[in-house]
């Protein structure tokens, strides 16, 4: 029967040549304009996708599978201990005390969600350890300064202990960073398909968490956040901190690092805003940034989270 | 393939749940045979998505060679076509007006994102892309009969999308394609959580405790060795679910199985959107 025949042929060399020159044109910042439709029509996957997709934010020195799961374990312990402190169930009394005031301000409807998220984080910790990840720094509840002050307790995120809107912003930042971190490490897990699949399944759970926190924030005054839970634009603006009064300069800088590059609209060498058949009347740039989440390198993630870890991560 | 006894034709929703069909289905998976997911309703193509590609007249067919990355990307393209068609129909439906402003914003944004995913994959695949899939007007209309029905189907589509990407990532050979798939799947997961949260607020509690449906125990394993892990489905399972909806009049077949070892499925609970 015809439908079982392959519809895929071979790549034509002349198309490859054209695509490579198109890539070079894009790299040089050539105007895309009205010729884009014709250009897109002759695009061929292997070149078009591969050409420009190794973007800066996914790069870095490749980690081994062991290094990736050890790194993931650090992040999961951090998230778990953060939510435990917020919920008042940390084994470290001082961590619970620090969040006592803001805990009382968390909307009752948000508590089951935070509990569910914390449950997943502790499960992620257990999963990674059961699969060989090593807690080489012996991280525990007392290893963290959730103000982002490396143990001073007066870091740029101290506002999270007194301002519930800021607390939720920190949770959002932690989840979105987790999503970006796993995404950035996926290529380093390709040699072990089982671990890769598990990591992808954790990655999407982190994305569900991030989406929920974003919806919570929209419902409590963060009007520039989308109900869809997706990330619009990039840099500090993508945090949607409009409902935060007087965030510290350090917090704004950190948010800029968390969302750096999320405003990317070039995917696999294609300008997503120039695709044909997009719905009319939409903000194409906003939608293009929302439709794709961007990875972060391990180094970029370490730079973001180090202030919350008292031990050195490097 | 039809003359070597290794093609199974599934032509109706009910058939998929008959034990004899299921046995054949599993047997086919075991021998790497072809499973043909025929539409429940063979109708002329409708306005949602006309068949325009060569060889796609009427309902047509599309064969996926999942043994290479192009086939996996075409598999994603097929699923994105389905999602984009659904949300495009949603925002044009009568029931859309019954949704509140929050829900309408989500539906409109999801429509934009899924259309972008579809058009991106189509453009990126270029001449390697499968054709435009055709849909059954009747079946699509049945997914849009009320706001609640729309939301239920949206949840099923998004969870299925997450399952599909999570299950297919391990078969990709190119790190660049894996990264691209990763960029899309987390957005699908954000969508799934948003839709689930809307349904949670509306009192839908099947399988989940109140306030937790965004990442409920019905999709994120809550016990055993995979506790804390999200849904995943092998491509054959995803296409089986898609086929059983009767939404497509284009037959999507697996021409070649993925190269690599399948893992046990952990799919979302609802068998069909």
Burial group, residue B263, by CB count within 10 angstroms (0-12, 13-18, 19+)? middle
Q: Give the relative orientation of helices A164-185 and A65-87 as an angle to the nearest 10 degrees.
A: 170
**Lowest-pLDDT range of A41-50, A164-173, A189-198, B183-192:** A41-50
Whole-number pLDDT of residue A198: 98
CB-based contact A295 B162, cutoff 8 Å: no
Residue B5 has pLDDT above 90, yes or no: no
How deeply is B235 buried, as exposed, middle or buried, from its count of CB atoms within 10 A (0-12, 13-18, 19+)? buried
In this predicted structure, what is the pLDDT of residue B58? 52
Q: B54 CB contacts (<8 Å, ≥6 apart)?
A: B131
Nearest to B245 by CA among B41, B4, B5: B41
Stretch A165-169: mean pLDDT: 97
Give yes or no for residue A31 having a pLDDT over 50: no
pLDDT of residue A243 exceeding 60:
yes
Tell me: the pLDDT tens digits for A249-292?
999 999 999 999 999 999 999 999 999 999 999 999 999 999 99
Lowest mean pLDDT among A10-14, A259-263, B16-20: A10-14
Averaged pLDDT for residues B86-102: 98
The predicted structure's pLDDT at residue A53: 38
CA angle B145, B150, B154 (to 5 degrees): 150
Whole-number pLDDT of residue B47: 28
Name the pLDDT band for A60 (thresholds 50, 70, 90): low
Interface test mutation site (partner A, options B81, B189, B233, max chain A beta carbons within 10 A): B189
Predicted local confidence at residue A211, as pLDDT: 98
- Per-residue CA distances from A231 to A33, A147, A202, B35 (Å): 26, 24, 19, 38
Q: Is the pLDDT of residue B99 over 50?
A: yes
pLDDT of residue B205: 81
Which of A45, A121, A198 has its CB closest to that of B229?
A: A198
DSSP conformation class of A10 = P
pLDDT score, position B2: 36
pLDDT exceeds cutoff 90 at B244: yes
Residue of B224, B204, B226 whose CA lies nearest to B214: B204
Query: Residue A10 pLDDT more than 90?
Result: no
Three-state DSSP string of B192-206: HHHHHHHHHHCCCCC
The band of B241, judged by pLDDT with boundaries at 50, 70 and 90, is very high
pLDDT digit string, tens, across residues B27-61: 444 444 444 444 332 233 332 333 334 333 457 89
Confidence of residue B1 (pLDDT cuts 50, 70, 90): very low
Interface of B with A in 123-152 (CB under 8 A): 123-128, 130
Mean pLDDT of A44-61: 42
Strand partners, B97: none
Average pLDDT over residues B169-198: 98
Widest Cα–Cα separation across chain B? 55
pLDDT at B266 over 90: yes
> What is the rounded average pLDDT of the residues B129-157?
96
Q: How many CB pairs under 8 A join A and B?
A: 302
Q: Cβ separation of B126 and A43 shorter than 8 Å? A: yes
- pLDDT beyond 90 at B268: yes
Chain A (207-226) residues lying within 8 Å, Cβ to Cβ, of chain B: 207-212, 214-215, 226
To the nearest whole number, what is the mean pLDDT of chain B? 84
Residue A293: closest C-alpha in chain B: B183
Q: Give the angle subtended at the CA of B192 by the CAs of A211 and B68, to the nearest 5°.
A: 110
Decide if pLDDT at B149 tops 50. Answer: yes
- The answer to whether B6 faces chain A, any CB pair under 8 Å, is no
User: How far is Cα A234 from Cα A232, in angstroms, rounded to an integer?
Assistant: 7
Percent share of chain B, pLDDT over 70? 77
pLDDT at B115 over 90: yes
Q: Which of A43-47, A149-153, B130-134, B140-144 has the lowest mean pLDDT?
A: A43-47
Q: What is the ipTM of this complex?
A: 0.84
Q: Has residue B24 got a pLDDT over 90?
A: no
HSE-up of residue B100 (Cα within 13 Å, Cβ side) = 6
Tally of CB atoms within 10 A around A31: 8
A87 CB within 8 Å of a chain B CB? no
At residue B61, the pLDDT reads 92
Question: A20 vs A89, which has greater pLDDT?
Answer: A89
**Can you name the residues that pair with B37 across neighbouring β-strands?**
B10, B252
Q: Which 239-298 residues of chain A touch chain B by CB within 8 A?
A: 267-268, 270, 272, 275-279, 282, 287-288, 290-295
Task: Measure CB to CB from residue A212 to each of B65, B105, B197 and give the nearest one.
Answer: B197
How far apart, in whole angstroms, are the C-alpha atoms of residue A163 and residue B204? 31
Q: Is the dihedral of CA B73, B78, B81, B87 positive or negative?
A: negative
Reported as a pLDDT band with limits 50, 70 and 90, residue B215 is very high
- What's B113's DSSP letter? H
C-alpha distances in Å from residue B259, one per residue of A206, A243, B51, B67? 28, 50, 30, 5
Q: Is there a contact between B266 and B232 (Cβ–Cβ < 8 Å)?
A: yes
């Amino acid at each position: 029967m015809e439908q079982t025949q392959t519809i895929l042929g071979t790549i034509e060399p002349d198309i490859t040549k054209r695509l490579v020159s198109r890539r070079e044109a894009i790299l040089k910042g050539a105007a895309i304009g009205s010729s884009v439709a014709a250009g897109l029509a002759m695009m061929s996957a292997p070149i078009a996708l591969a050409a420009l997709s190794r973007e800066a934010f996914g790069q870095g020195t490749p980690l081994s599978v062991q290094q990736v799961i050890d790194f993931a374990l650090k992040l999961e312990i951090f998230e778990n201990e953060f939510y435990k402190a917020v919920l008042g169930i940390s084994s470290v009394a001082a961590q619970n005390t620090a969040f006592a005031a803001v805990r009382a301000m968390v909307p009752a409807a948000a508590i089951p969600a935070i509990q569910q998220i914390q449950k997943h984080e502790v499960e992620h910790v257990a999963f990674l350890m059961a699969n060989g990840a090593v807690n080489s720094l012996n991280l525990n509840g007392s290893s963290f300064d959730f103000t982002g002050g490396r143990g001073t307790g007066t870091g740029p995120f101290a506002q999270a202990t007194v301002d519930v809107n800021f607390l939720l912003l920190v949770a959002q930042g932690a989840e979105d960073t987790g999503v970006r971190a796993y995404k950035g490490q996926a290529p380093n897990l390709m040699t072990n398909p089982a671990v890769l699949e598990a990591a992808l399944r954790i990655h999407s759970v982190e994305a569900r968490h991030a989406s929920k926190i974003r919806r919570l924030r929209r419902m409590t005054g963060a009007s520039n956040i989308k109900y869809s839970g997706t990330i619009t634009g990039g840099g500090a603006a993508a945090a949607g901190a409009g409902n935060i009064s007087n965030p510290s300069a350090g917090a704004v800088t950190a948010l800029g690092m968390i969302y750096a590059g999320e405003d990317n609209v070039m995917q696999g060498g294609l300008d997503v805003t120039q695709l044909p058949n997009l719905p009319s009347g939409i903000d194409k740039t906003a939608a293009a940034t929302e439709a794709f989440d961007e990875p972060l390198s391990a180094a970029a993630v370490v730079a973001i989270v180090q202030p919350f870890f008292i031990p050195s991560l490097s | 393939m039809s003359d070597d006894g290794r093609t199974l034709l599934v032509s109706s929703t009910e058939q998929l749940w008959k034990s004899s069909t299921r046995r054949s289905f599993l047997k086919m998976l075991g021998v790497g045979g072809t499973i043909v997911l025929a539409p429940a309703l063979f109708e002329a193509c409708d306005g949602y998505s006309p068949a325009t590609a060569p060889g796609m007249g009427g309902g047509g067919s599309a064969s996926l060679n999942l043994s290479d990355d192009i086939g996996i990307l075409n598999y994603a393209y097929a699923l994105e076509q389905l999602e984009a068609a659904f949300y495009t129909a949603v925002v044009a439906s009568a029931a859309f007006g019954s949704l509140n402003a929050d829900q309408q914003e989500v539906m409109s944004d999801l429509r934009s994102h899924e259309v972008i995913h579809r058009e991106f994959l189509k453009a990126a695949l270029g001449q390697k892309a499968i054709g435009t899939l055709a849909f059954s007007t009747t079946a699509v209309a049945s997914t849009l009969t009320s706001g609640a029905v729309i939301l239920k189907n949206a949840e099923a589509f998004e969870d299925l999308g997450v399952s599909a990407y999570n299950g297919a990532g391990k078969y990709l050979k190119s790190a660049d394609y894996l990264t691209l798939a990763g960029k899309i799947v987390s957005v699908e997961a954000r969508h799934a959580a948003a839709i689930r949260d809307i349904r949670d607020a509306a009192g839908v509690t099947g399988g989940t405790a109140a306030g937790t449906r965004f990442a409920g125990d019905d999709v994120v394993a809550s016990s055993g060795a995979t506790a804390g892990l999200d849904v995943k489905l092998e491509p054959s399972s995803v296409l089986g679910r898609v086929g059983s909806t009767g939404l497509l009049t284009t037959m999507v077949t697996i021409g070649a199985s993925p190269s690599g070892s399948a893992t046990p499925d952990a799919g979302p609970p609802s068998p069909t959107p």
